[in-house]
């Protein structure tokens, strides 16, 4: 394994590795991705092996520009054009009917494919250097915490890769929004870096959610247990979060609280309990969330007690990640 600062020479090396069938971890604005060229079937299969990912979970395709996306789909409807104009490059994956040029192994046997243009200069430069699309799910083991720094990738799967491109911390910090446009109505398969409200504003239409368990076009990150640290994650309401923490701390458990609520005036912090009091900015919470999960494991925290944010704006994605980390997906 080689970790390289993502300069021009390293990007050219990464392109050569991908073109020859290797795997490279790359920075994106959302999380670090585990990249393989779409023209290398063995490398695409190796993504599943390295991650321990079931073949029933599709991979998202990343392209440098719209002209690379068009051959991968049967059509690019007006709704997709509006959203691409508004949010590409950016953390939005559009699910559309696939063309025959899309490898079967990345679509989980379905007739659709998810595509996005990442908004990270390193990822875009690499895609342009390679000259072809890549598949790039998060560069971590299946169901575990996504990496937002190159060091996270090195710890998780570094020995299974040819190269890790270090492009610094990820700016968004949670995965892309996945929107299914293959049916009669736009359907939100996974909340992410683009809010539902922003999608509805651009589309001038309501974005639906699938009935749980029967989504027509499966999305990555929808396992009931996902984005999970080793610490147990428990969800509590704003009213009960500090009393829950005190109860567990008195029982001798090592506790950390993730909340917007400051402790009550009479709170006496046990030595085995501390807290991350969220900033008011949802983007700041998202940018730091996965790193905080990982730090809790480093600090040998046993239980994370978390408050769910209000499910508006980016809070919808944050609440989704916290629920799945607690096994309540």
For 184, the domain range is 3-203
Based on the fold, state whether residues 183 and 256 are members of the same structural domain: no
Residue 49 lies in a domain: yes
Residue 137 lies in a domain: yes
Based on the fold, state whether residues 142 and 276 are members of the same structural domain: no
pLDDT in tens, the chain (329 residues): 689 899 999 999 999 999 999 999 999 999 999 999 999 999 999 999 999 999 889 999 999 999 999 999 999 999 999 999 999 999 999 999 999 999 999 998 899 999 999 999 999 999 999 999 999 999 999 989 999 999 999 999 999 999 999 999 999 999 999 999 999 999 999 999 999 999 999 999 999 987 655 544 466 655 555 678 999 999 999 999 999 998 898 888 999 999 999 998 878 778 889 999 999 999 999 999 999 999 999 999 999 999 999 999 999 999 999 999 998 86
CATH of the domain at 304: 3.40.50.11030
pTM higher than 0.75 for the full model?
yes
Residue 222 lies in a domain: no
Based on the fold, state whether residues 154 and 278 are members of the same structural domain: no
222: nearest Cα among 313, 137, 136, 307: 137
- Tell me the two tokens of residue 243: 């009393």
pLDDT of 118-132, one tens digit each? Answer: 999 999 999 999 999
Residue 210 lies in a domain: no
For the chain, the domain total comes to: 2
* Contacts with 110 (C-beta within 8 Å, 6 or more apart), sequence order: 58, 98, 217, 218
pLDDT at 226: 63
CA separation for the pair 325, 329 (Å, rounded): 8
Residue 215 lies in a domain: no
Residue 217 lies in a domain: no
Q: Is 325 helix (H, G, I), strand (E, B) or coil?
A: helix
- Tell me the two tokens of residue 58: 């599709």
Q: How many CA atoms lie within 13 A of 48 on its CB side?
A: 14
Residue 35 lies in a domain: yes
Based on the fold, state whether residues 35 and 156 are members of the same structural domain: yes
Based on the fold, state whether residues 172 and 280 are members of the same structural domain: no
Based on the fold, state whether residues 159 and 253 are members of the same structural domain: no
In DSSP notation, 76-137 reads --HHHHHHHHHHSSSSEEEEEEB-TTS-GGGTTT-SEEEEE----HHHHHHHHHHTS-EE--
Q: Are the beta carbons of 70 and 76 closer than 8 angstroms?
A: yes
């Amino acid at each position: 394994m080689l970790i390289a600062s993502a300069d021009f020479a390293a990007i050219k090396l990464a392109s050569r590795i991908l073109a020859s069938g290797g795997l490279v971890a790359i920075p994106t604005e959302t999380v670090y991705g585990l990249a393989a060229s779409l023209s290398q079937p063995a490398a695409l299969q190796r993504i599943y092996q390295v991650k321990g990912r079931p073949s029933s979970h599709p991979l998202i395709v990343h392209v440098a520009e719209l002209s690379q996306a068009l051959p991968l789909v049967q059509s690019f409807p007006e709704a997709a054009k509006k959203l691409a104009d508004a949010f590409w490059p950016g953390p939005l994956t559009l699910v559309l009917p696939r063309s025959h040029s899309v490898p079967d192994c990345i679509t989980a046997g379905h007739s659709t494919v998810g595509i996005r243009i990442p908004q990270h200069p390193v990822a875009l430069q690499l895609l342009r250097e390679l000259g072809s699309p890549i598949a790039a799910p998060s560069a971590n083991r299946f169901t575990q915490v996504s990496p937002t720094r190159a060091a996270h990738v090195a710890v998780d799967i570094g020995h299974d890769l040819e190269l890790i491109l270090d492009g610094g911390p990820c700016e968004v910090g949670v995965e892309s929004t996945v929107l299914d446009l293959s049916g009669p109505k736009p359907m939100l398969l996974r909340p992410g870096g683009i809010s539902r409200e922003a999608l509805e504003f651009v589309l001038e239409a309501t974005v639906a959610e699938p009935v749980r368990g029967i989504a027509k076009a499966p999305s990555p990150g929808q396992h009931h247990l996902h984005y999970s640290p080793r610490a147990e994650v428990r969800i509590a309401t704003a009213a009960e979060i500090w009393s829950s923490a005190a109860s567990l701390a008195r029982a001798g458990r090592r506790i950390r609280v993730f909340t917007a609520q400051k402790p009550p005036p009479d709170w006496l912090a046990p030595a085995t309990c501390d807290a991350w009091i969220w900033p008011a900015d949802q983007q700041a919470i998202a940018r730091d969330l996965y790193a905080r999960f990982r730090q809790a494991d480093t600090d040998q925290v046993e239980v994370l007690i978390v408050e769910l944010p209000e499910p508006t704006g980016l809070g919808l994605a944050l609440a989704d990640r916290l629920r799945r980390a607690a096994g309540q997906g």
